[in-house]
Structure 1
Amino acid sequence: MELFLRSLAPPAARTVQEATIDRLKRLEARGHIREYELTIWGDRIRLDTTPRTPTEEAIRDKIDRFRRWERRNGVTLAPGFDEREIDPLIDDTYTVFRTPVIALAVYAGSNVWGVFPCEVDGDPVTVDACLDAFLRRGSLVESRSPG
C-alpha cells in the first residue's frame, strides 16, 4: 500500500492523516498488509509541463497509473481527484491535477489493485472503507489486472 498525504493540510485533516497512519501500522503488525509506504504531495500537480524533479516525475507517473486503473475498471477518482484548468491573470492557462488530502493506493505485486477515494457505480469508497475491508478480510489481495 502507498498512503498519500497532502502537505500543509489543515489541523482537522492532519488528525485524520495521523489516524490513518496508525491504522496502517496496526494492519501491518497484524499481517493484514505486507507493507506500506508514505508519500507527501502538494495540493495540485501541473500536468502540461515537463517534470522538474525526480519526485515530481515519480508522482506524475503514479497519477498516470491511477488514471489507467480508473479507465480500465470503470470507476471514477472524482471528486477526490480533480483535473482543472487554471487561468492566471498574467500567464497562459494551464492544467492541474488536484489531489485529495489523503489517498491510498493498493498494489498486488507491482500492479495497481485499487485507488481510494474513488466512486464505484456512483457510491463513494473512502480510504477508511478500504482499510475496514482489509481488517475484516484478514488477508492480502490477489492480483486482478495489470496497472
Structure 2
Amino acid sequence: MSGSDGAGTRVELYVRSLSATGPRGGRSGLVKRLGALEAEGRIDEFEVRVWGRRAPASREAARTTPGAAVHERLAAFREWADDNDLSLAPAVDERAVDSLVGDRSRSVELPAALLAEYDDGDLTCVTPHADGGTVRTVPERIERIGDGRRGSYAAVEYPEPGALREPVPGAGE
C-alpha cells in the first residue's frame, strides 16, 4: 500500500473491521488478494479504510470532519451509480434510526466491505452494486480485476481523497 499521487489504478477497500471471518477468508482475505493484485501489476496501489456500521444521512448531521468525509465519499459513490444506471442498494441503504434517548434520525447503513476503484484520480467503479436484479459483490469484482475483466463504466471526477470542500459547522478538528 503505497502513497497516492492520483496517477494509475488505485483501489480503496472500505471495511467495518479486519476480521478474518466471512466468505472467501473475510476482509483479511480481500486485503491479501488486493496485495497480490498490486504485486502482479493489475492495480498500482490499494488502501484499506475502516469505517463504522452507519454514517449520517446528511453532511450537516455528520458534525465531524471524518463523518463529513464519509458522507462526501458516499455522495460520489451514488453519483457514479446514477451515471451508470446502477444502484448501491441494498448494500448502502438509508433508514430511520432510534437513539438511546428516543430521538429518531436518518442514517446510512454501510456495507461490511466496499471497493472503490480509481483510474488517474477518477472514480470508475464501486462495488457492491446492483445491475437490475443482479448484485455484484466485492470478492467477484476483485476476481474480475485479477482476470483482467474490469469492464467499462462511466467515470466520475473525484476530488483528492480526504479533501473537504468546506469545514463542517461546529466540527472540532
TM class, shorter-chain normalised? Answer: 0.7 to 0.9
Cα gap change, 1:141 to 1:30, in 2 (>3 Å) = farther
Question: Structure 1 runs of 4+ off > 3 angstroms?
Answer: 87-92, 140-144
Work out the CA distance in 2 between the residues paired with 1:110 and 1:68. Answer: 15
**136, 140, 146: which one pairs with 1:135?**
146
Q: What corresponds to 1:120 in structure 2?
A: 131
| TM-score, length basis structure 1 | 0.86
Report which stretch shifted further, 94-103 or 106-115: 106-115
Alignment of 1:50-69 (within 5 A): 50-69=61-80
Distance 2:151 2:120 in 1: 9
Task: Report whether the alignment pairs 1:12 with 2:24.
Answer: no
Corresponding position of 2:119:
108
Identity fraction in percent: 29
**Following TM superposition, by how much is the alpha carbon of 1:124 offset from its aligned partner in structure 2, in angstroms?**
1.2
* Equivalent-residue separation in structure 2 for 1:43 and 1:18 (angstroms): 18
How far apart in 1 are the matches of 2:117 and 2:44?
11
Greater percentage in helix: 1
RMSD across aligned positions (CA): 2.4
For residues 101 and 139 of structure 2, the distance between their equivalents in structure 1, rounded to whole angstroms, comes to: 41
The one-letter code sitting in structure 2 at the alignment partner of 1:19 is: G
2:43 is aligned with 1:33: yes
CA pair 35-44 structure 1, distance change in 2 beyond 3 A: same
Structure 2 stretches of 5 or more lacking a match? Answer: 1-10, 158-173
**Aligned match of 1:144:** 154
